[in-house]
Amino acid sequence: MAARRFKPEGVALGAGLLGLGVLATLANLGYVDLLPSMRLTWPFVLVIWGVAELYNTFSAGRS
Amino acid sequence: MKPGKVVLLVGILAAGATIETADRIRARVDVGPFGWVALGGRFQGAAFTYEATEKKDVPAGTRAAVENGFGTVDVRPGAPGVIEVKLRKVVFMPKEAKAREFADRLVVRSELAGGVLRVTTNRAELEREVEPIGPFRFGSIGFETHLSVRVPPGTEVEVKNEHGIVDVAEVASARIESSYDDVKLRDVAGTANVSVSHGDATIDKITGELQISARYGDVTLADASAGVKINQAHGDVTTARTGRLSLETQYGDLSSEDVRGDLQVRGEHSAVTASRIQGGADVETSYDDVKLTDVGADARVKVEHGGATLSGIKGAATAETSYNDVDIEQVGGAVTASVAHGSVRASRIAAGARVKADGDDILLDGFRGPVEAEAQRGSVRLVPDGPLVGSLSARATYGDVQLQVPPGSRFELQATTDSGSLDVTLPGLTTSESSETRLVGRLGEGGSLVQLSASHGDVRISPRSEVANR
């Protein structure tokens, strides 16, 4: 059985959905305001994606 | 780069731009307590309520000025020499301990200076302070401050509130400014000034002069015995038992009963219905109709794209309308009516009439005094109330002219038509000139001149009884 290939965009999408869900839950509990929180944190999705792409490139070069 | 990655990247950037824009708009647009702030979560979820009371001794004659940001304000008379402020604090937080800690810092601020006790809270400071709280709190805490103020009897009161109902009663005078909720005001011994931006105003029993400025909301007013001045933008105005009433409005109707003085209305897109006006009435509006009933002096109405109905006018009645009719009944003074694209119907006129209609008929039924009537593309029908002795001039360009002559009338007659026929059946008429298109004569001993002419229509003159039996 072949190993599943690592997809950086999948990591970015997953992280984005995870973050959105966490923020929405916190907002419903009254701990944060949803819109300002999303405005503050959305660029982290790009950061996580970039890190995943770098990891993918280096790991492909090593193998 | 794979197309899927490009699509995802564009999607993330687009989502980010949308979030940025939405948050910036939210910070700039103030749409009231049920708008963006509510959607942002400040005024929803768990909330805890706390109360605090503060009393302050004040010299006689001290005025009270109350200012609030988000919550109701009510002012009532209390004990002499004391102003008592009860602050009800509603804090929207999930944990009671945190809410209590926050509520403890929320206090009444009162300061006596220059004969005025200024009452407010420190909510403005807390609103600034709590944004942000801690690393995970990016918004502000929602909290309401409801103020119940008891003032000495006979106190002059000022109230300024942003979001919340203002309810003031039994004070010497009142000045109220409200932005996003209703205003209720009653039993004011002196003057009152009410300004409300987004909300209704309900006002009752004002003894002194009253001024109301309302932008988006209805005004309901009763028992304002002195003069009333209302400036309204979008909303209806209903009044009963007022003194002199002056209204400026843009998009809203006026319904008024028992005006104990003059009525003046300057409206746009406004229907006006008023009855029992002790003074005169002066109404200008557009795109809707005017109805005035029982006016104690002169009545003047000007309507663009609307009609006018006037009845029971003790003085003179003047109506100028377009694209709708004028109906006038029972006028003690002279009638002046001019209609573009509509008819004029008038009855029981005591002191003559000057009437002009373009596009429809003129009917004057039961008039006394001199009459001038001119119809373009319409007929003229005249029925005097008693013996016709005053001057009368009636002209129609594309229509007939019909006069019914009561018994006892006397006048000099000139009747002409350009392309119609003359039908004159009048016992006692002495004819001095007669042709198919022109007739000159005298009825009885003669008197004032009666001129009837039709350019493209017939002229018919007959005894009133004869016509009535037809």
pLDDT digits (tens, 9 = 90+) for B222-235: 999 999 999 999 99
- Residue B3 is predicted with a pLDDT of 83
- Residue B134 is predicted with a pLDDT of 44
- The answer to whether B56 and B82 have CB atoms below 8 angstroms apart is yes
Report yes or no: A26 at the B interface, CB cutoff 8 Å: yes
- Average pLDDT (B160-183) is 94
- The answer to whether B183 and B202 have CB atoms below 8 angstroms apart is yes
pLDDT > 90 in chain B, percent = 75
- Average pLDDT (B82-105) is 88
- The answer to whether B170 and B77 have CB atoms below 8 angstroms apart is yes
- Residue B270 is predicted with a pLDDT of 93
Q: Which range among B100-114, B148-162, B314-328 shows the weakest confidence by mean pLDDT?
A: B100-114
Q: Which residues contact A26 (CB under 8 A, 6 or more apart)?
A: A32, A37, B136
> Between B8, B40, B46, which is nearest A13 by CB?
B8
Report yes or no: A21 at the B interface, CB cutoff 8 Å: no
- Residue A4 is predicted with a pLDDT of 63
Which of the residues B1, B6, B10, B12 would you substitute to probe the A interface, choosing the one with the greatest number of A C-beta atoms within 10 Å? B12
Contact criterion met (CB < 8 Å) for A9 and B4:
yes
Would you place residue B33 in the very low, low, confident or very high pLDDT band (cuts 50, 70, 90)?
very low
- Average pLDDT (B133-141) is 51
DSSP class of A47: H
Would you place residue B27 in the very low, low, confident or very high pLDDT band (cuts 50, 70, 90)?
low
Interhelix angle for A43-62 vs A8-29, to 10°? Answer: 150
Report yes or no: B23 at the A interface, CB cutoff 8 Å: yes
- Residue B44 is predicted with a pLDDT of 62
Rg (CA), chain B: 34
Question: pTM score, two decimals?
Answer: 0.77
- Average pLDDT (B150-159) is 95
Dist CA B16 CA B36 (whole Å): 19
- The answer to whether B153 and B80 have CB atoms below 8 angstroms apart is yes
Q: Which position has the higher pLDDT, B26 or B269?
A: B269
Residue B126 has pLDDT above 90, yes or no: no
Q: Which range among B166-170, B279-283, B297-301, B389-393 shows the weakest confidence by mean pLDDT?
A: B389-393
Q: Which range among A4-13, B61-70, B108-117, B395-404 shows the weakest confidence by mean pLDDT?
A: A4-13
Dist CA B168 CA B170 (whole Å): 7
Angle at B445 between CA B439 and CA B451, to 5 degrees: 35
Residue A10 has pLDDT above 50, yes or no: yes
Q: What's phi and psi for B158, nearest 5 deg?
A: -125, 135
- Average pLDDT (B105-122) is 92
Q: What is the largest CA-CA distance in chain B?
A: 111
- Average pLDDT (A51-60) is 87
Residue B46 has pLDDT above 80, yes or no: no
- Residue B36 is predicted with a pLDDT of 40
Residue B191 has pLDDT above 50, yes or no: yes
Beta-carbon count within 10 A of A45 CB = 24
- Residue B28 is predicted with a pLDDT of 58
- Average pLDDT (A4-24) is 86
- Residue B138 is predicted with a pLDDT of 47
Angle at A53 between CA A47 and CA A59, to 5 degrees: 135
Phi/psi-derived region of residue A11, left when phi > 0, alpha when psi is between -120 and 50, beta in every other case: alpha
* Closest to B186 measured CA to CA, from B142, B221, B229, B232: B221
Q: Which range among B91-95, B160-164, B407-411, B430-434 shows the weakest confidence by mean pLDDT?
A: B91-95
How many contacts, defined by CB atoms under 8 Å, are there between A and B? Answer: 60
Would you place residue B140 in the very low, low, confident or very high pLDDT band (cuts 50, 70, 90)?
low
Q: Which range among B94-108, B271-285, B444-458 shows the weakest confidence by mean pLDDT?
A: B94-108
Q: Which residues contact B190 (CB under 8 A, 6 or more apart)?
A: B156, B172, B173, B207, B208
Q: Smallest CA–CA separation between B134 and chain A, in Å?
A: 10
- Residue A57 is predicted with a pLDDT of 87
- Residue B311 is predicted with a pLDDT of 97
> Between B4, B23, B94, which is nearest A36 by CB?
B23
> Between B15, B19, B45, which is nearest A35 by CB?
B19
Total residue length of chain B: 470
- Summarised one tens digit per residue, pLDDT across range B398-441 is 999 999 999 999 999 999 999 899 999 888 899 999 898 999 99
Contacts 24+ apart (CB under 8 A), B330-333: B333/B298
Dist CA B39 CA B409 (whole Å): 79
Q: Which residues of A touch B1 (CB under 8 A)?
A: none
Contact criterion met (CB < 8 Å) for B92 and A35:
no
Contact criterion met (CB < 8 Å) for B8 and A29:
no
Mean pLDDT of chain B: 89
- Summarised one tens digit per residue, pLDDT across range B323-381 is 999 999 999 999 999 999 999 999 999 999 999 999 999 999 999 999 999 999 999 99
Dist CA B419 CA B271 (whole Å): 42
* Closest to B19 measured CA to CA, from A63, A56, A57, A19: A19
Residue B268 has pLDDT above 70, yes or no: yes
Residue A12 has pLDDT above 50, yes or no: yes
* Closest to B158 measured CA to CA, from B181, B182, B178, B144: B178
Residue B61 has pLDDT above 70, yes or no: yes
Dist CA B247 CA B230 (whole Å): 5
Would you place residue A56 in the very low, low, confident or very high pLDDT band (cuts 50, 70, 90)?
confident
Residue B288 has pLDDT above 80, yes or no: yes
Structure tokens at A38: 């999303």
- Average pLDDT (B97-108) is 89
Contact criterion met (CB < 8 Å) for A26 and B92:
no
Compute CA distances B252 → A11, B242, B287, whole Å. Answer: 58, 19, 11
> Between B23, B94, B140, which is nearest A29 by CB?
B94
Which of the residues A13, A32, A33 would you substitute to probe the B interface, choosing the one with the greatest number of B C-beta atoms within 10 Å? A33
Q: Which position has the higher pLDDT, B364 or A9?
A: B364
- Average pLDDT (B89-101) is 84
Residue B244 has pLDDT above 70, yes or no: yes
Q: Which residues of B touch A34 (CB under 8 A)?
A: 40-41
Structure tokens at B145: 């401050």
